[in-house]
Amino acid sequence: MKLSIEHVGKTYRGGTRGLDDFSLELEPGVLGLLGPNGAGKSTLMRILATITKPTDGTVTWNGTNIVKSPDGLRSVLGYLPQDFGVYPNLTAQEFLEYVAAAKGIEHAAARRRIQELLVLVNLVDARKRALGGFSGGMRQRVGIAQALLNDPRLLIVDEPTAGLDPEERVRFRNLLSDLSGERIVILSTHIVSDVEATATHIALINRGRLVVSAPPEALLQKVEGRVWEWMVPSSDLTDVKARFRVSATLRRSDGVRVRAVSDMQPAAGAQPASPNLEDAYLLFINPAENAGAQVA
């Protein structure tokens, strides 16, 4: 099972480039596609879901071009878009039955699968309520369920934890981890903690280009020795943020504890700190200094 993205680009009307020469090969596991808003994540997801055609380059699923022959991928695809819409007058049960029918799932099998998924996304008690009365988080859980109806080999989820409370977010992270052993899961998000908790491989994207692709451990090794923590007076914080790539601050009674990424010791008394994925993200998502950075 392999998804290959080769030199893919997307140009929109007016000449705006949504993607530029993006290449990546994926095998079973969870890919965390991480980047700021507007980086090109959703454009890539729509191409992989066969909704949008690339302007240039090719995407192949097990060797088959998905633009020329999309049906092979569509039959094993689960997709949760960033802007997931529902029919407000349908109940959760009815909506999932409708989506299952549209996907060609046999009725008896669909009913069994729907019951399993309602348990999985914690909506059993709300299954007969109209979707128009659901909270944003509940609608998102319905979206997750519909993406899993056909037990997909390729699961694409675009900003899936938006609107979920902390308990639901942990549940969804665990679900993605459980699903990853036998399928390719692509988690597209700007929330670093979601990727840190689930991804077996990480791709950082900015301005439509792949910045770096590596396992989490390799990214962390690249930042080793470049993360520092030190205390500064509150009055100096604005200046420190202007001079350094600050990943975190913690206010205390004696000032502000600053955490920053820097090749050199940023201040007298600054101590090395163990890196995390937030630090790696900050290091690489910097077009002026880190465009095209690679991890060996």
- pLDDT (tens digit per residue) in 93-136: 999 999 999 999 999 999 999 999 999 888 999 999 999 999 88
Cβ–Cβ under 8 Å, residues 88 and 157: no
DSSP-based three-state secondary structure for 11: strand
Q: Is the pLDDT of residue 280 over 90?
A: yes
10 to 112, 159, 274: CA distances (angstroms): 40, 20, 38
For residues 245-258, average pLDDT: 94
Q: How far is CA 201 from the centre of its chain?
A: 11
DSSP codes joined into one string, 188-248: EES-HHHHHHH-SEEEEEETTEEEEEE-HHHHHHHHTT-EEEEEE-GGGHHHHHHHSEEEE
pTM attached to this predicted model: 0.86
- Of 240, 242, 294, 237, nearest in space to 267 by CA: 240
* Residue-averaged pLDDT of the chain: 90
> Per residue in 129-143, pLDDT tens?
999 999 888 888 899
pLDDT in tens, 24-57: 999 999 999 999 888 999 999 999 999 999 999 9
